[in-house]
Chain A
């Protein structure tokens, strides 16, 4: 999405300051997994608002449909059946971009301005600058971005940055019939989540909690979970996600180090030449050979 903006916190592959004169309130979407019924109204609303249609797939035998995020499905419901204390629990998680405060995609992206983080926390892909390398997938701790087979660009949830920019809540939040989805200032969402957690604990979910993983600086999509101690139950939500150390090495430390090392070799060669001079063929050897040649 391309929007004129004065509140850009970070821009991919950019080493100078971004236009950031305007500060906005940090926002968040709160997904209360405990009140979600898996109706997929949010999935449909996402398709509607963003005007994207996935290919019609096949039933895989469970409710997951489509079975994975794609360039056309920016949010999908994941259904997990787990047994807890002798009872079957149907844990349904709305999957999609978490809008990390410390986004691995943005860190890895080589193309200036293909990934933007606004000061409100939304991490947005600007596809017109995307080169389709897929580094964002490599950088993402949540396996979210997808590259389109049609145009070779990366796509994911925008947190409806276009709607939020004009004071609207994301389309999915608008559509949710049970009120499992909430949107607002991140602080307000945390407060609301706290009240939900108190309620859940009073009803026997001792481990109920908020999923706002600190390893990625917190996220701007948060979950209320009944089993916050074991997020993996929810179709493999990572327990303690962070940008992989390999990615930090690759797009952090190694970048300046290798650049300086290569420049040093180039300059070292130049200065070797101007200090030592060329390594010429000795005149004496040439003369000797010429003498040998003379009949």
Chain B
């Protein structure tokens, strides 16, 4: 039974499955990768059956995530083109952080912050994939200078993306009524009108 048939559909089942697949992979990659990065995180290898398993699994999960992100990227790319309104929104993101978003410019399906995250993820994923393959000693043995460079980029891109994704997850927790969009695909009209008014107009015709 659905609570309100007038709720708006934000994500199709395919989009949600795609998002969760990528998200699960990302979390597993972050946990296993951090274990190699700093000794403080080493105990995380136990989640994967020990250090050797973490080392074996990480790159394969990485390739899976890269594939799933590519599919997500192709689905959402056109919705994430930056517009002047987004730039204005971004320059006034402080108001959003204060929870006083009613004076900000109207936002489409995604706001400037979400679009920025989308492109940061796209660039970061590409860097992680390329450098991750360079680091993959079990199958590749590239010149040592290239591997050293890749190690720095991989670790830096991973740290940035982990921070970006933490903000992404936090935003979904903070803005009430958002999480259900990824659980079962719908949001209330009031949620849409408040946070993504241009999108609300577009889908309701009001």
Contact = CB atoms under 8 A, between A and B. Distances in A.
Contact of A258 (B37, B54, B167, B190): B37
A14 B166 CA distance: 27
Contact of B152 (A129, A147, A254): A254
B190 A289 contact: yes
A255 B37 contact: yes
Nearest to A254: B155
A289 B156 CA distance: 46
B155 A289 contact: no
Contact of A259 (B40, B156, B189): B40
Interface residues of A, number: 45
A259 B38 contact: yes
B163 A262 contact: yes
Contacts of B177: 280-281
B104 interface: no
Nearest to A129: B51
- Contact-size category for B: 35 or more
B166 A266 contact: yes
Interface in B39-94: 39-40, 42, 45, 51-52, 54-55
A255 B174 contact: no
A250 interface: yes
A84 interface: no
B3 to A, nearest CB: 13
Contacts of A137: 137, 144, 147
Interface of B: 6, 35-40, 42, 45, 51-52, 54-55, 97-99, 101, 137-138, 144-145, 147-149, 151-152, 155-156, 159, 162-163, 166-167, 170, 173-177, 188-191, 193-194
Given A132-B137, A133-B55, A147-B137, 7 more contacts: A112-B39, A132-B52, A137-B147, A276-B98, A278-B176, A281-B190, A282-B190
